[in-house]
Structure 1
Amino acid sequence: MGSTFNGLAGLVILALDIWAILNVVKSSAGGGAKVLWILLIILLPVLGLIIWAIAGPRGDVRI
C-alpha cells in the first residue's frame, strides 16, 4: 500500500510541476527569470513548487 501511495504522490507532484512550468512560460517575466524559475522547479520539485506558488510569476494558462 505504501508504494502505491508514493507512486500516486509522485505523479501528483509531477503534474503540478508541469503546470507550474507552463505558467512560468506563459508569464510576462523576462527570459532570464523564466529560466531561473524553471530550473528551480525542476531541480527542487516540491520546494520549488512551494516557492513558485508563493512568489513566482503567473501566466494565463487555463485548464
Structure 2
Amino acid sequence: MEIFGIILLVLDIWAVLSVWQSSASGGAKLLWTVGIIVFPLLGFIVWYFAGPKGQAAAA
C-alpha cells in the first residue's frame, strides 16, 4: 500500500504544478490547489477530467 501513497503524492504534485501553469484565474488556481491537497485522490480525479488545462492545451 505504501507504493500507492507515493504514486498518489507524485500525481498530486504534478496536478498542482499543472494548475499553477494554467491560464486559470488566481482564485481558480487557489481553489483547485486546496481541493487537490484536502482530497488527494478525489481532487486529482476531478482535476484530471474537469480542471484547467496547461499552457500547451490553451495554445
The two structures have a TM-score, normalised by structure 2, of 0.90
2:34 to 32, 39, 43: 39
Is 1:7 the counterpart of 2:8 in the alignment? no
Q: Segments of 4+ in structure 1 off by > 3 A?
A: none
Match of 1:20 in 2: 15
What's the offset of the Cα at 1:8?
Answer: 0.3
Larger radius of gyration: 1
Runs of at least 5 residues in structure 2 that lack an aligned partner in the other structure: none
% same residue: 52
- How many residue pairs match? The answer is 56
Alpha-carbon RMSD across the aligned residues, in angstroms, is 1.2
Residue of structure 2 aligned with 1:57, choices 45, 49, 52: 52
